[in-house]
Structure 1
Amino acid sequence: MPTSRLEGHILTPRGFVRGELAVREGRIEAVLGEPRTEYAVRSEGLPIVLPGFIDLHVHGGGGADTMEGGAAVERIAQLHVQHGTTSLLATTMTAPHAELVSAISAMGAVCRQRGSGAARVLGVHLEGPYINPGKLGAQPDFVRSGSLAELQQLHALAPIRLITLAPELPGNLALIEPLIAAGFRVQLGHSLASYEDGVAALDRGATGFTHLFNAMSGLHHRTPGLVGAALAHARYAEIIPDLLHVHPGAIRAALRAIPCLYCVTDSTAAAGMPDGQYKLGSLTVTKCLGGVRLEDGTLAGSTLTMDQALRNLVGLGLEIEEASRRTATHAADFLGLHDRGRLERGAWADLVVLDSALQLQRVFVEGEEIELAHAG
């Protein structure tokens, strides 16, 4: 297979270089160039080459919902790659056991074989059913305490890479250590946990927080809640930077407190679609006024895409390099993926090419250039 080459300002783990990136057989063969400052990157007008975006919380897109199974997940991966997401986790909704089995079994083939023109589906993020019925957010009320046997059954159908649970539910705190020992990653969310509950869960091996600030006990100076545990102790946490789920001031506070805070979209079937009604698991949600809501007005996921997440972070004052870490590298590191989320020799050639306005121009997944419907 011949070597292909890209030129421009290329973000390496050591900063930007002005030079050339070579790709061979789906992986990066070499990155060569001279160091460049952020000012030069913004002002010289060359293409900007960043790691492809990694989204660990995706419910849908392009009119399709993950709970519909394999063909829907393929459509979702095709929609999000059009916005620079090169790998993602298909995220489930809280549902009865039989529905989870049906949805996840249909995801297995999509996880094993990436479709042409689609993002890589790395596996499943099981968001519920092990959550608190008092903090459902937009989740249906099919909650129950965690079960290692159930998780192992689901994992045999498709790789469960990440589990969201509420540590205060009976049995859940004690379950964290066996889950970690079995190879699962656990994060905390949809929870009324106290600060002490959150710290205890971290001590037992939980490592993240699901859509920080949303659907969790908030910060008060005498009752710090799960948000307080995250701000005081977390290395990793998700956040939805659509500027609707979380106030910019709260995003800035989290950026200062959590070293590896990373972005997710929590996107629904409404992403990339016109206003109207869409499915979110067993629920019906409405897209209007830039958001997705239940009938009572509760936010129900988002329409955010990762290219817009990057632009929003830069709009908040982050340099492009830091915004890229928070839309790619930190998520890869959280999952233990050291050959994604970075542009260096041997890594998968997952990358995005942007213009000086940070509008998407080209996308590559494992060396395959994706045909974009509307560049920029």
Structure 2
Amino acid sequence: MTVYTNARIVTPTGVIGRGWLEAEHGRITGVGTGDRRGRDLAGAWLLPGFVDLHVHGGGGHSAMTSSDAIREAVAFHRARGTTTTLVSLVTAPLEHLAKAAGWIADLTEEGLVEGCHFEGPFLAHSRCGAQDPAALRPPSLAELRLLLDAGRGTVRQMTVAPELVNPDTGDDGIDLVRELVSRGVIAAVGHTDATYAQARAAFRAGAALVTHAFNGMRGLHHREPGPFVAAVESPGVILEVINDGIHLDPAIMRLAHGLAPDRLALITDAIDATGMGDGEYRLGAMRVRVSDGVARLVEGGSLAGSTLTMDAALRRAVKEVGLPIETASRYASAIPAKVLGLGDRGTLVPGRRADLVILDGDLNVVEVP
């Protein structure tokens, strides 16, 4: 049994100013206030471990490369507080995506990661961002099933553009959404030129997530509200947000929080360059240049993922956006855990997994026990 004492503990009901947490066999067995014998954290913050729904790599390692690279990327992000990782794959030829999904399935069965997120290939050319346009595909139920089968039941999420139609088969993006939902996979709307009405149709069909809100989609306009407003008006739909100050201005973060309270999920969208400094890298088939921590395509200059980590996203949410730490913690842990249906983690209450992160007074990671 391990007991942490004299900590500022972030719980679902608020912050315990001078609290203790007891854990045994990987589970939280007690949380309370007052004096207990144990490890004195000297007033440090104790939060639930972060849950990242969208990460392509980190520490110089890309999920598109090998299972060993995924292991290294997961270790890199764990040291920065991420205790649950959903591995994201960028658009690539179908055979490459199927092979990578097999690696991720092995690692999921091992318990290292929570599964696979296909960010493509059924995305809009006009909003492809840093996705390889040569590998984009029109909607195809047959190809979708091929990819899901390659994941052996471990594909948890797929991003689709719901407005697309396959001229040869008649399959459309809404068909893909329905198929994903029927297979127990989260359908996310993203990299899309969908109108407000088209996005609403996707959410009515069961899409439950927005991939990096505002980025890779129509913007908010007073005559064409676009996917963001469609998501806000669809109860239960969660919006991913890349809170690095580059993809989203703090004022937009406050707007999203105000319009969709308790429906935001902090993500990193981190690529292999994360933690590695400026230079040239690759995101799938695309060449990326990182300058002052900002990743952009060498050709065209589109933003190409991020060099963000979840601890920095939470820190910015508190210090730059102005959210209470308990709200920022929900957006980094409880809400994304809920998206994945992981009721065993994301909050510091008895019975949940003892996935913890200890932060100092400036919200920098001290330790991930």
Q: Do the two structures share a fold, i.e. TM-score over 0.5?
A: yes
Residue 255 of structure 1 aligns with which residue? 257
Count of residue pairs the alignment pairs up? 347
Q: String of CA shifts for 1:167-212, please: whole Å, max 9, x gaps.
A: 0011111232232121111110000001000111111111110000
| Contact 2:104/2:151 (8 A) holds in 1 | no
Q: What amino acid does structure 1 have at the position aligned with 2:274?
A: A
Q: String of CA shifts for 1:199-258, please: whole Å, max 9, x gaps.
A: 111111111100000000111111111122123335311010000011121111111111
Q: CA RMSD in A?
A: 1.5
The equivalences for 1:210-221 within 5 A come to 210-221=211-222
Aligned equivalents of 2:87, 2:297: Cα separation in 1: 21
> Percent of pairs identical after alignment?
40
The equivalences for 1:1-376 within 5 A come to 3-7=1-5, 8-17=7-16, 18-33=18-33, 46-114=43-111, 120-141=112-133, 142-144=135-137, 145-147=139-141, 148-156=144-152, 159-170=154-165, 171-233=172-234, 235-259=237-261, 260-295=263-298, 296-315=300-319, 316-363=321-368, 369=369
Aligned equivalents of 1:77, 1:70: Cα separation in 2: 11
Aligned equivalents of 1:64, 1:151: Cα separation in 2: 23
| Contact 1:69/1:102 (8 A) holds in 2 | no
Q: What amino acid does structure 1 have at the position aligned with 2:266?
A: C
Q: CA deviation at 1:28?
A: 1.0
Q: What amino acid does structure 2 have at the position aligned with 1:216?
A: M
Q: CA deviation at 1:161?
A: 0.7
| Contact 1:53/1:328 (8 A) holds in 2 | yes
| Contact 1:69/1:104 (8 A) holds in 2 | no
Q: CA deviation at 1:109?
A: 2.2
| Contact 2:98/2:151 (8 A) holds in 1 | no
| Contact 1:239/1:261 (8 A) holds in 2 | yes
Aligned equivalents of 1:73, 1:125: Cα separation in 2: 13
Q: CA deviation at 1:45?
A: 6.4
Aligned equivalents of 1:284, 1:78: Cα separation in 2: 24
Aligned equivalents of 1:155, 1:230: Cα separation in 2: 28
Q: String of CA shifts for 1:322-367, please: whole Å, max 9, x gaps.
A: 110111111011111111111111111111111111111111xxxx
| Contact 2:295/2:306 (8 A) holds in 1 | yes
| Contact 1:218/1:228 (8 A) holds in 2 | no
Q: What amino acid does structure 2 have at the position aligned with 1:10?
A: I
**Residue ranges of structure 1 left out of the alignment (5+ in a row):** 35-43, 115-119, 364-368, 370-376
| Contact 1:45/1:355 (8 A) holds in 2 | no
Q: CA deviation at 1:286?
A: 1.1
Query: Higher mean Cα deviation, 250-259 or 191-200?
Result: 250-259
User: What SS is found at the alignment partner of 1:67?
Assistant: coil
- The normalised TM-score by structure 2 is 0.91
